[in-house]
Structure 1
Amino acid sequence: MTTPLTLTPGTNPDGTHHLAVTGEIDMSNISSLADALDTTSGPLVLDLTAVDYLDSAGLSVLFAHADRLQLIATPLLAPVLTISGLADLTTVHGLDSGLPPTY
């Protein structure tokens, strides 16, 4: 069974390509995201604010394009983006919840 995933392409006012992703990114639907990233050239802003889940298959595709991506994410994805090291390879906006860390 394929997990629902919606990809909405666009262009920012400065001409940079933009791709909004909605749903869960997992092994069942990663080919759709991979195809969209492969067919978009140049810098790309990838909006993950409506993504509820990101597995290792999704991470591997993002790693393959990290040199040209800027990510927009929510604190929900912060652990996976940070622990995987992806946040160190590309710019990620929106990970800070504005709250002090809890220990």
Structure 2
Amino acid sequence: MTTPLTLSVSQRPDGTPVLAVTGEIDMSNAGSLDDALVRTTGGARVLVDLSAVDYLDSAGLTVLFSHASRISLVANPLLEPVLTISGLAEVTTVEDASPDGA
């Protein structure tokens, strides 16, 4: 069973907007992610927290690539290989979500 996509916006103490993404990102909801990134970035940089994402398909990657110049990512160990192999990790910053960085 798929995990529904949940998107929530917050702000770091330094004012950086954070878009927290939970669930699965696929072709059925990639448009919602794109819409949220457009609204959240407003041309500014945004941190996209993918630490609670269970699945990311090519439609989700396409959305992230289209915003790569304005986003930084936090990714869990499950997503890190996908972000590296796709080349997304070469065009934007990807931070490890695990507390010990392992």
Per the TM superposition, whether the score is higher than 0.5 is yes
The alignment yields a C-alpha RMSD, in angstroms, of 1.7
Gaps of 5+ in 2: none
Alignment of 1:1-103 (within 5 A): 4-40=4-40, 41=42, 42-94=44-96, 98=102
Distance in 2 (alpha carbons) for counterparts of 1:73 and 1:11: 18
Going from structure 1 to structure 2, the CA distance change for 1:94 and 1:4 (only over 3 Å counts) comes to same
Q: Following TM superposition, by how much is the alpha carbon of 1:3 offset from its aligned partner in structure 2, in angstroms?
A: 5.7
8 Å Cα contact 2:49-2:74 kept in structure 1: yes
- SS in structure 2 at match of 1:32: helix
Q: Following TM superposition, by how much is the alpha carbon of 1:33 offset from its aligned partner in structure 2, in angstroms?
A: 0.5
Percent sequence identity over aligned pairs: 64
Distance in 1 (alpha carbons) for counterparts of 2:58 and 2:6: 19
The number of residues matched between the two structures is 97
How big is each residue's C-alpha offset from its partner over 1:50-74, in whole Å with a ceiling of 9 and x where there is no partner?
0000000000000000011110001
8 Å Cα contact 1:78-1:95 kept in structure 2: no
Give the TM-score normalised by the residue count of structure 2: 0.89
Distance in 2 (alpha carbons) for counterparts of 1:4 and 1:52: 10
Distance in 1 (alpha carbons) for counterparts of 2:23 and 2:65: 19
Distance in 2 (alpha carbons) for counterparts of 1:84 and 1:11: 28
| 4+ long deviations beyond 3 Å | none
8 Å Cα contact 1:21-1:47 kept in structure 2: yes
